[in-house]
Amino acid sequence: SMEGAPSPGRRADTAPLDNRAAELAAGLRAAQAHIDPKFLYDAQGCVLFNAICELEEYYPTRTERAIFEAHRGAIARALPRRLQWVDLGCGDCAKSRAWLAHVDACRYLGVDIAADCLRHEVAALGRKFPQVDCVAVEADFSADLDLSRHLADIQEHPPVFFYPGSSIGNFDPERAVALMAAIGRQAGPRGSLLISADLRKDRRVMERAYADDLGVTAAFNRNVLRVCNRVLGSDFQPAEFDHESRFDDGHGRIEMRLRARQRQRVRWGSSERVFEAGEDIVTEHSYKYTPAQFDAMLARAGFSVRDMWTDPRSWFGVFLAQR
């Protein structure tokens, strides 16, 4: 189950293996080595991510839940009637289950890249809401979102795209705007986007969320090296890398890295890369925005913000944007 935040391209297992291996190899050969965060979410990574969502240090999941619980009625009233609910990165559909009881939906599209349980989860949702036409769509919406053939009449049934969990923050801003613009094009003139973003706050609060005392986030981060070993056939030793996370004030993002404890050579196929002691691999960016910054990104994507809901400390934002 992906209670927390199904992410950009969570679980990349469905892309052709060669593409995934080639993408990993290119990132590892770059001067600043990097691994796309979508590779964090294999089966083990999903379990660790769900554990992160329960950590005391990791405030986003519980803060979003509190905002939804406090404002569900108001948010639902701001949505059109006879809508189509498009759940991006639906995982186990847990978040949408609560929404379908409050919105006037005639159709539900559960979109996820991890196909294993998708059909099963969406079918279960359909049994709970027999009046809603529930459809599962296996797709990597971060790559090329084209859901138009899965949407019913968008004039009659305005789509509401639901992208919770602040997963948009794992895209660099240009890609985030491009993704939201693609959503807007498919949503059509009456469409809307209900999306969460983690907000800028005291850096100690943010840094603690990515460096928990139990080391769950460290395990989540190191697990990506096992994914490399499996997909690329590399010989990374995860224990030889330290988990690092720090807030970069200039970019407004948490940067998650794996830092080589000592000089080491990693081999795959006929390639290799030497990591000097202290050299690192970037595994994730997690952007934190001010409400004004996120409004501006939505505007660049062709949306206007209709409303924003937050918690009493303004740590997390839920934005409702319309075309």
- How far is residue 52 CA from its own chain's centroid? 14
User: Taking CB under 6 A as the rule, does residue 260 contact ligand AVI?
Assistant: no
User: Cβ 224 to ligand AVI, closest distance in Å?
Assistant: 11
CA distance 95 to 68: 9
Task: Build a one-symbol-per-residue string for 65-104: x at contacts with ligand AVI by CB under 6 A, - elsewhere.
Answer: ----------------------------------------
77 Cβ neighbours under 8 A, 6+ residues apart: none
User: Can you give the C-alpha Rg of the chain in angstroms?
Assistant: 20
Name which of residues 270 to 289 contact ligand AVI (CB under 6 A). 284, 286
User: Cβ 269 to ligand AVI, closest distance in Å?
Assistant: 29
24, 230 in Cβ contact below 8 A? no
Among 24, 35, 52, 93, binds ligand AVI (CB under 6 A): 52
Question: What are 15's two structure tokens?
Answer: 């892309």
User: Cβ 167 to ligand AVI, closest distance in Å?
Assistant: 5
User: Cβ 73 to ligand AVI, closest distance in Å?
Assistant: 26
Name which of residues 214 to 233 contact ligand AVI (CB under 6 A). 217
Total residues contacting ligand AVI (rule CB under 6 A)? 13
57 Cβ neighbours under 8 A, 6+ residues apart: 208, 209, 211, 212, 213
Name which of residues 162 to 181 contact ligand AVI (CB under 6 A). 165-167, 169-170
231, 24 in Cβ contact below 8 A? yes
Name the residue nearer to ligand AVI (CB basis): 170 or 234: 170
User: Cβ 150 to ligand AVI, closest distance in Å?
Assistant: 24
User: Cβ 295 to ligand AVI, closest distance in Å?
Assistant: 20
Name the residue nearer to ligand AVI (CB basis): 37 or 110: 37
Name the residue nearer to ligand AVI (CB basis): 159 or 169: 169
Enumerate binding residues for ligand AVI (CB under 6 A). 5, 7, 52, 60, 165-167, 169-170, 210, 217, 284, 286
